[in-house]
Amino acid sequence: MCKLTEINSAKQIEAIPEQALAWHQEGRGAVLATVVQTWGSAPRRIGGQMAISGQGDMAGSVSGGCVEGAVVLEALEALNAGEIKVLEYGISDGDAFAVGLACGGTIRVLLEPVGAVLSEPLLAELVAARAARQPMVYSVNCETGANALHAHGYEERMRLDRSGFEPDGVTFVSVHNPKLRLIIVGAVHIAQALVPMAELAGFDVYLIDPRGSFGSIERFPNHQIIEDWPDQALRDLQLEARSALVLLTHDPKLDDPALQVGLASNAYYIGALGSTRTHYTRVERFLSLGFSQAQIDRIHGPVGLPIGAATPAEIAASILAQIISALRLL
């Protein structure tokens, strides 16, 4: 009986190709499992991945916990055979309840043994591109295992962050966009909740505050604070289309210079803390600085979805929900 160990720390949740490569290079063997198709209320998006070692260790998931045990057993067989494999699980299957998929959905999962189907050099190239924040698409023929990496040619899929099958019905395209970044200006109480929430959701989080007392190690014991002035820090970080910016200081001396840099960037989300009245005066200031109404309309203010949030943690949850909805509900 193989030992099933789940590797699920926040930093490893989305580092699945990296984990598969590491296990393979350690001589432990590895299989990369990818959700290639879903129907109904499947719990994972197309493109969701899980790595399985030759000892049955897991990183990531393909169903949120429903069928992982069955997938691991199939993956070990695929690893021993050195062959590509496509699995299907659904509520209509006789074994559906046995493997735990009782959510009413159906999923197809592709298994690619590293080395035999997914070559080590190709996987290493993908991992290097991800580390360099270079958008990359991986394509694989689910029947033959023929695969390749593409830096260009799939711009629409990259823009929508949408993996899926090509019209031929056998070529699966997996989009590997740079990891999302959340830049927070203001090491305030809300940030103490927002930082770990966003990290758990898969964001690389950068916290900026030049005020030493706010960014103390006692307040943020597991996170390094950037103590530069916000506008300079943002220029150094170079906001881009996979970046979200949130301003929490409630101090125009800190927020406004950061906002000016943010509005000049193509960050996909910009939000600023403050009441409706505070945001109105902010809009007036930026109009007087020469910013257009269209530019100013990019600012989500008051920040966060209107869920009636009252505590700092609830406000943080509303902010993160709005950041995610701005990306996913295009």
Structural domain boundaries, residue 48: 5-176
Say yes or no: 119 and 142 in one domain.
yes
Instruction: Classify the phi-psi angles of 293: left when phi > 0, otherwise alpha if psi is within -120 to 50, otherwise beta.
Output: alpha
Write the pLDDT tens digit of every residue in 171-205: 999 999 998 999 999 999 999 999 999 999 989 99
Say yes or no: 304 and 317 in one domain.
yes
Q: Which residue has the tokens 């209320």?
A: 41
Q: Is the model's pLDDT at 99 over the cut of 60?
A: no
CATH of the domain at 196: 3.40.50.720
Average pLDDT, the chain: 90
Say yes or no: 227 and 310 in one domain.
yes
Percent of the chain with pLDDT over 90: 76
161: pLDDT confidence band, cut at 50, 70 and 90?
confident
Say yes or no: 75 and 208 in one domain.
no
Give mean pLDDT, residues 307-325.
97
DSSP code at position 12: G
Beta bridge partner(s), residue 137: 150, 175
Q: Of 176, 194, 223, which marks where a domain is finished?
A: 176
Q: Of 151, 176, 201, which marks where a domain is finished?
A: 176
Q: Is the model's pLDDT at 112 over the cut of 90?
A: yes
Q: Is the model's pLDDT at 320 over the cut of 70?
A: yes
Say yes or no: 51 and 165 in one domain.
yes
Query: Peptide bond before 302: cis, by omega within 30 degrees of 0?
Result: yes
| pLDDT, position 1 | 31
Tokens of 299: 């600012």
Residue 257 identity: P
Say yes or no: 207 and 124 in one domain.
no
Q: Is the model's pLDDT at 7 over the cut of 70?
A: no
Mean pLDDT is lowest, of 40-44, 91-95, 204-208, 247-251, for: 91-95
**Highest mean pLDDT range out of 39-53, 207-221, 292-306, 316-330?**
292-306
Across the beta sheet with 136-141, the strand order is 147-150, 136-141, 171-176, 164-165
Say yes or no: 111 and 211 in one domain.
no
Contacts of 306 (CB under 8 A, 6+ apart): 318
Q: Is the model's pLDDT at 5 over the cut of 60?
A: no
| pLDDT, position 103 | 56
Say yes or no: 22 and 162 in one domain.
yes
pTM: 0.71
Say yes or no: 323 and 234 in one domain.
yes
Number of domains in the chain: 2
How far CA 193 is from CA of 49, 52, 199, 259, in Å, comes to 27, 32, 10, 22
Q: Are 106 and 88 in contact (CB under 8 A)?
A: yes
Say yes or no: 172 and 185 in one domain.
no
Write the pLDDT tens digit of every residue in 262-278: 999 999 999 999 999 99
User: 245: part of which helix (H) or strand (E)?
Assistant: strand 243-247
Contacts of 181 (CB under 8 A, 6+ apart): 203, 204, 205, 206, 237, 242, 243, 244
Residue 179: CB atoms within 10 Å? 14
Q: Is the model's pLDDT at 141 over the cut of 60?
A: yes
Q: What are phi and psi of 46, to 5 degrees?
A: -60, 135
Q: Is 38 helix (H, G, I), strand (E, B) or coil?
A: strand
How far CA 234 is from CA of 21, 164, 193, in Å, comes to 33, 34, 22
Percent of the chain with pLDDT over 70: 91
Q: Of 176, 208, 233, which marks where a domain is finished?
A: 176
Compute the CA torsion angle 52, 54, 56, 57 (nearest 10 deg): -60
Say yes or no: 153 and 198 in one domain.
no
Q: Are 41 and 60 in contact (CB under 8 A)?
A: no
Say yes or no: 167 and 197 in one domain.
no
